[in-house]
């Protein structure tokens, strides 16, 4: 199938925009690769330090076996990362069987937005992505590794690891998922109980019971938020093996896929004949394919910030206009909560990523000619893994959806567009996700209520102050102000107001969770209010028009442009819960429209 003209045009635009930076990047990683296998450049003392604790130190010191480094986000507080506890031993055995040696290179932090949501710790969340990139860089700085395998799943962890893998782009990279937990209490039922609690209709005991029944075992949360959007992205971009993203933890198939991933890591080093540096996988076509996957699945808006940051680490410059244009071209083919009732286990059973990639390739909406850890060409990602004893064989995946309430073909989708819109106007630039927003709410025109943090919104709700159509403006939530926390804890409140018949919307320079859905939310507004962006001039009562159909966001007050900007008070977000440590990050963070990066 001929590549769709818009996909071709956007890719060419990215390539042209990135020509200088990408060429410099490729020169850098080629220079590093030209040095040959890494350990050969360590002196005897360097090597002795590196191998002292290893039982196979002679292999490390004397042989030409490839050495695989593990960079792990394991901890046992996060359900998504707890399965990684047993991965190092499995990877060592698989690596040794494949003729390689294996070392845990280092660990990276992994925080859970579900734990910190609405709390002070959430103000460290976005910056943890850059800390993860830094920590992974430290792990790889020993220069002992011929390939790296990355163990990470959730919101900032995968983007941070990709930033590191791109920075060390001469080193082959394989990402090994852990998989989603089995289905528990349906996500829509959990959401309903949250709204009942917010409205005072049920007590905390009912809320706790619902939450515990939803988040109930090792594995990723089952809704299609940022964590599972990350897993989709890694498969669409060729850094996972085909069909591996949504296989449940601690199952024979999951373990066999991990072994197969280690075998590929051993095969694609500089020591063999199939050398595949990470920087060559992470090219313009791969990132465009990732954005296509994001739109076709209705994935998390957080990736609109993470993808530009990941790409920048590989010398590629992506703008939110690229997301918008691809979204206008790519159909919405999946309905997974919060865009539908199904969870990711149901999505996977209905045909999952393999089915979608096949459909999108047939429609000319994906670049087929890409490098992946599975081999050259994306067509291999239409296959699905099957157990053959303890090994994996790939079989042709279903060419038909197995549940058309969850997955639809590209020619008969749930919606003709991906549902992500770029917004622009006198309030700045931002984005809105409308794939779960009812069509009659795509345009909201209402007076503003202005708040400086989400607790003020909650207090106003408890006081019964929202009695008319309202655009809730929460400003001073950008990366330079307080680290750009997610404001997902406002979702139940806004949903209650909407269910009461009010027309409401959120307008913020902060973020919303990948699990947010049915309330219109104009987010990532840039320039942010703390640096004098337009949100700092909005006042209570100003008429705000949010028009997702035309992609505009404006304050209609006649004197708006002439007003002085409100001044941000940084003190509340400058201390406590480790926020002191991140003052330097807040001072230099880039704008949300460019990924809000600190280290790239």
Q: What is the pLDDT of residues 229-285, one digit of tens each?
A: 999 999 999 999 999 999 999 999 999 999 999 999 999 999 999 999 999 999 999
Confidence tier at 514 by pLDDT (50, 70, 90): low
484 within some domain: yes
**Alpha helices, DSSP H, located in 430-474:** 454-462
Residues 427 and 354 in one domain: no
Domain stops at, among 355, 380, 396? 396
522 within some domain: yes
Residues 541 and 436 in one domain: yes
* Arithmetic mean of pLDDT, 107-117: 91
pTM over 0.85: yes
202 within some domain: no
Count of CB atoms situated within 10 Å of the CB of 551: 15
* Arithmetic mean of pLDDT, 207-225: 87
Binding site members for [4Fe-4S] cluster: 154, 221
* Arithmetic mean of pLDDT, 278-304: 97
Does the pLDDT of residue 41 top 80, yes or no?
no
Residues 491 and 547 in one domain: yes
Average pLDDT, the chain: 94
**Alpha helices, DSSP H, located in 71-225:** 87-97, 113-116, 125-140, 157-167, 187-198, 204-214
* Residue 533 belongs to domain spanning: 420-594
pLDDT at 50: 81
Residues counted in the chain: 600
Residues 130 and 19 in one domain: yes
If phi over 0 gives left and psi between -120 and 50 gives alpha, with beta otherwise, what is residue 472? beta
C-alpha distance across the termini of the chain, in Å: 36
277 within some domain: yes
pLDDT at 432: 94
pLDDT at 483: 96
Does the pLDDT of residue 186 top 90, yes or no?
no
> How large is the C-alpha radius of gyration of the chain?
24
pLDDT at 515: 59
Residues 300 and 434 in one domain: no
Does the pLDDT of residue 598 top 90, yes or no?
yes
Residues 356 and 426 in one domain: no
* Arithmetic mean of pLDDT, 144-152: 96
493 within some domain: yes
Residues 238 and 283 in one domain: yes
- pLDDT digit string, tens, across residues 409-468: 999 999 999 989 999 999 999 999 988 899 999 999 999 999 999 999 999 999 999 999
Give 391: exposed, middle or buried? Use CB within 10 Å, 0-12, 13-18, 19+: exposed
Adjacency order of strands within the sheet including 67-72: 101-107, 67-72, 147-151, 173-175
Would you say 236 and 289 are in contact if contact means Cβ atoms under 8 Å apart? yes
Strand partners, 71: 106, 150
Would you say 557 and 457 are in contact if contact means Cβ atoms under 8 Å apart? no
Residues 433 and 391 in one domain: no
Confidence tier at 307 by pLDDT (50, 70, 90): very high
- DSSP class of residue 314? T
Would you say 552 and 425 are in contact if contact means Cβ atoms under 8 Å apart? yes
Binding site members: 154, 221
How many domains are contained in the chain? 2
Full DSSP string of 432-497: EE-TTS-GGGSEEEEEEEEESSHHHHHHHHHTT---S-EEEEE-S-SHHHH---B-GGGHHHHHHH
530 within some domain: yes
Confidence tier at 87 by pLDDT (50, 70, 90): very high
The region of weakest confidence among 47-51, 459-463, 489-493, 507-511 is: 47-51
Those residues whose C-beta lies under 8 Å from the C-beta of residue 562, and which sit 6 or more positions away, are none
Name the more confident of 514 and 261: 261
Does the pLDDT of residue 354 top 80, yes or no?
yes
pLDDT at 376: 87
**What are the φ/ψ torsions at residue 447 (nearest 5 degrees)?**
-70, 150
Residues 357 and 487 in one domain: no
Domain containing residue 469: CATH number: 3.50.30.80
pLDDT at 332: 96
């Amino acid at each position: 199938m001929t590549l769709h003209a818009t996909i071709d045009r956007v890719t060419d635009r990215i390539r042209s925009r990135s020509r200088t930076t990408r060429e410099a990047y490729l020169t850098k990683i080629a220079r590093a690769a030209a040095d040959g296998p890494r350990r050969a450049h360590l002196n005897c003392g360097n090597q002795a330090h590196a191998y002292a604790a290893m039982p196979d130190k002679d292999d490390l010191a004397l042989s030409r076996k490839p050495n695989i480094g593990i960079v792990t986000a394991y901890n046992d507080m996060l359900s998504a990362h707890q399965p990684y506890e047993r991965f190092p031993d499995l990877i060592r055995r698989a690596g040794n069987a494949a003729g390689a040696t294996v070392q845990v290179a280092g660990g990276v932090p992994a925080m859970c937005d579900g734990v910190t949501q609405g709390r002070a710790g959430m103000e460290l969340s976005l910056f943890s992505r850059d800390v993860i990139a830094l920590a992974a860089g430290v792990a790889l700085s020993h220069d002992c590794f011929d390939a790296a395998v990355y163990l990470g799943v959730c919101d900032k962890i995968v983007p941070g690891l990709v930033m590191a893998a791109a920075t060390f782009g001469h080193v082959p990279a394989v990402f090994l998922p852990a998989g989603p937990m089995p289905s528990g209490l349906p996500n829509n039922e959990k959401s309903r109980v949250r709204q009942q609690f917010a409205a005072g209709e049920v007590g905390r005991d009912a809320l706790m019971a619902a939450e515990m029944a939803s988040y109930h075992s090792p594995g990723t949360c089952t809704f299609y938020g940022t964590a599972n959007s990350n897993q989709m992205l890694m498969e669409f971009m060729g850094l996972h093996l085909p069909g591996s993203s949504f296989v449940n933890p601690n199952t024979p198939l999951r373990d066999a896929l991990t072994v197969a991933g280690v075998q590929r890591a051993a095969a694609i080093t500089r020591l063999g004949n199939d050398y595949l540096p990470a920087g060559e996988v992470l090219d313009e076509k791969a990132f465009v394919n990732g954005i296509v996957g994001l739109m076709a699945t209705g994935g998390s808006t957080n990736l609109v910030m993470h993808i530009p940051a990941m790409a920048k680490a590989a010398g590629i410059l992506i703008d939110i206009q690229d997301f918008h244009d691809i979204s206008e071209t790519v159909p919405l083919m999946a309905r997974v909560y919060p865009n539908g009732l199904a969870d990711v286990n149901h999505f996977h059973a209905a045909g999952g990523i393999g089915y979608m990639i096949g459909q999108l390739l047939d429609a000319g909406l994906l670049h087929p000619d890409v490098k992946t850890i599975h081999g050259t060409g994306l067509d291999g990602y239409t296959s699905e893994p099957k157990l053959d004893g303890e090994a994996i064989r790939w079989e042709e995946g279903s060419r038909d959806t197995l549940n058309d309430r969850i997955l639809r073909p590209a020619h008969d989708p749930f919606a003709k567009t991906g549902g992500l819109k770029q917004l622009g106007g006198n309030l700045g630039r931002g984005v809105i996700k409308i794939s779960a927003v009812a069509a009659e709410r795509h345009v909201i025109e209402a007076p503003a209520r202005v708040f400086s943090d989400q607790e003020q919104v909650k207090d106003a709700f408890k006081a019964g102050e929202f009695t008319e159509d309202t655009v809730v403006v929460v400003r001073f939530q950008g990366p330079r102000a307080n680290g750009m926390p997610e404001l997902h804890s406002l979702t139940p409140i806004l949903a209650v107001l909407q269910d009461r018949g009010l027309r409401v919307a959120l307008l913020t320079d902060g973020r919303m969770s990948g699990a947010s859905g049915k309330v219109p939310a104009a987010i990532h507004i840039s320039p942010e209010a703390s640096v004098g962006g337009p949100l700092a001039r909005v006042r209570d009562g100003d008429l705000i028009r949010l028009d997702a159909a035309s992609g505009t966001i404006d304050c209609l007050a006649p004197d708006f442009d002439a007003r002085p900007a409100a001044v941000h008070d940084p003190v509340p977000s400058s201390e406590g819960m480790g926020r002191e440590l991140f003052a330097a990050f807040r001072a230099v963070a880039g704008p949300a429209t460019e990924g809000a990066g600190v280290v790239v």
